[in-house]
Structure 1
């Protein structure tokens, strides 16, 4: 190779290193926020039902602030290079989706949609070639939601909230039914989906105990 070619290659390598460091710094800031949200949301397992909404109000501003990180990432990534760099922030994005999904469930007892997540995180459709929300990442976030709800079903009984496991059971079974109709070709996603059976089993055991002891109204099991 001649010197001109070598210089050009070195410039490209240096450019990649610089870009990688910029992305890493931005993802590190996003990671801090996801850890803060996870830490705060973990308190739902020891918070009385009537104080849960106050706890969610603490989390919402942090979720909204993730928009800044998304804007910054979209500005950093060169056109048509989303798939080249996406693995650097996938885990952080999934953690953000999980937090948004848990807040949505506890607030409205509904499943957050992919468009809703994009809106909450400020992911603009015009960024498609630089930063977007893949369906796989959304589904990973929803599976994490189910994982957390199976834990909440157990801990809510300890807190004296006997209706919560029944509500969670209806909600989670509906999600599982939806996943069952998806054509999942991603191996990791498929394995995580299969693990939901164990979450459902845990929830059903709690529901069985609560129902057997007549600790919650029977009608609750048929409503979400």
Structure 2
């Protein structure tokens, strides 16, 4: 092999190693923030409904600070190489979507859109689209994780005396499940995780049945 070609190849390899190390550094910081966020949100299972707004407010600044990480990652990725590197931070992004979606549900009882998570929460800009963006698949993975958490929350809410919450969760999850059914899920891991929604929905419905049977709350229509 020509020495000049070898030098060029080595240069390209060294550049890739440099990019990889910079990405790892930022993802490490991203994961630190995510651990804090998930740790705070884990308290919803032992927090009375009256104290929930304060809990949500406490996690919001940490979640919004993730914008600094997304900007730093976007700055590192070469043009037109998003799909080459995206797997490096996909788990972190999915966790951020999960947190955003759970907070939105707890605050408003509604579903946060992909566009809002991308721009308002993570601060992802349109001009980054060839370097950093929020893929639909990662958004959907985050929503499934949220439903997993809500199924657990429906049980613990009853323990805390909040008998109306399982009813609200049931109506919300059913609507979300109906939306997933209409999607053409070709991604294997996403399709497998979608199957878990059936079990979560069943778990919530069992809680609703028990609460309704004891006439502790009226189902949401």
* Inter-partner Cα distance in structure 2 for 1:168 and 1:98: 16
Asked if 1:214 is matched to 2:215, the reply is yes
* Inter-partner Cα distance in structure 1 for 2:116 and 2:110: 12
**Normalised by the size of structure 2, how large is the TM-score?**
0.98
Deviates more, 1:204-213 or 1:4-13: 4-13
* Inter-partner Cα distance in structure 2 for 1:6 and 1:71: 34
Moved runs in structure 1, 4+ residues, more than 3 A?
none
Aligned counterpart, 1:48? 48
Aligned counterpart, 1:192? 193
Note the 1:70-109 alignment, pairs <5 A: 70-109=70-109
Specify every segment of 5 or more residues in structure 1 that has no aligned partner in the other structure, as ranges.
none
* Inter-partner Cα distance in structure 2 for 1:126 and 1:104: 26
Aligned counterpart, 1:9? 9
Please, what is the CA RMSD of the aligned residues? 0.6
Aligned counterpart, 2:113? 113
**Normalised by the size of structure 1, how large is the TM-score?**
0.97
* 1:31-59 Cα distance to aligned partner (Å, 9 max, x none): 00111000000000000110011000010
Aligned counterpart, 2:33? 33
Aligned counterpart, 1:133? 134
Specify every segment of 5 or more residues in structure 2 that has no aligned partner in the other structure, as ranges.
none
Shift of 1:77: 0.3
Aligned counterpart, 1:66? 66
Deviates more, 1:3-12 or 1:141-150: 3-12
Note the 1:148-187 alignment, pairs <5 A: 148-187=149-188
What SS does the corresponding residue of 1:101 show, helix, strand or coil? helix
* Inter-partner Cα distance in structure 2 for 1:19 and 1:143: 31
* 1:192-214 Cα distance to aligned partner (Å, 9 max, x none): 00110000010000000000001
Aligned length: 220
Shift of 1:164: 0.5
* Inter-partner Cα distance in structure 2 for 1:28 and 1:65: 14
